[in-house]
Amino acid sequence: MDYYEKFKKDLKDGELGERVFAFYLKETKNFDIIGFNNDYKYDIISEIYCKRITFEVKTDRYEHFKGVKTNNMFIETSCNNKPSGISRTEADVFVYFLPDFEEAYLISVKKLKELLITNQEYFRYTTQSGDAGKVKGYLINRYKYKHLFKLYKIPKLKCWNIKV
């Protein structure tokens, strides 16, 4: 699979992850889903109890496709030496969704940014990740630090059972 094909597949997985998470919010948490966004600001805009809440959803299937268990969440900070991911989002809540493990880790964007700035010694910063080494970010062990996140169990959809 070349770079462009992999990008298209990752984008498709990401968009599906956003839809699945939005459906979960609507069906189990009584959120109204206002819509979806296709830029850096946020992925989902919702409303509950007359309050608007935006979500940045990162869908990760790396362990599933690579067949390795890392237990890590990768929090992107830049791509091509430009701010991206957590550095650029304007969302209220950051969601790290692992559909193959039926887990979604939630944390406020503000809290996650503070955590990364004030506790850098606890998280490994990588400078040559993804997209041919163009992406930088932090690795957070999701089990060691799960107490910092709110964990939702989200049933896996059959459409994700196919290994490409």
Q: Would you say residue 3 has pLDDT above 60?
A: yes
pLDDT at 132: 64
Mean residue pLDDT across the chain: 90
Spatial strand order in the sheet of 51-59: 32-36, 44-48, 51-59, 93-98, 103-108, 150-153
Q: For 21-56, how does the pLDDT look when each residue is reduced to its tens digit (9 = 90+)?
A: 999 999 999 999 999 999 999 999 999 999 999 999
pLDDT at 163: 46
pLDDT at 125: 92
- E strands in the chain: 32-36, 44-48, 51-59, 72-79, 82-83, 93-98, 103-108, 124-129, 135-141, 150-153
Q: For 8-23, how does the pLDDT look when each residue is reduced to its tens digit (9 = 90+)?
A: 888 899 999 999 999 9
Q: Would you say residue 159 has pLDDT above 70?
A: no
Task: For the chain, list the domains and their CATH numbers.
Answer: 3-155 (3.40.1350)
Q: pTM for the full model?
A: 0.91
pLDDT at 164: 39
Q: Would you say residue 158 has pLDDT above 50?
A: yes
Tally Cβ neighbours within 10 Å of residue 161: 9
Q: Which carries the bigger pLDDT value, residue 63 or residue 163? A: 63
Q: For 59-114, how does the pLDDT look when each residue is reduced to its tens digit (9 = 90+)?
A: 998 877 777 888 999 999 999 999 999 999 999 999 999 998 999 999 999 999 99
Q: Which carries the bigger pLDDT value, residue 103 or residue 121? A: 103
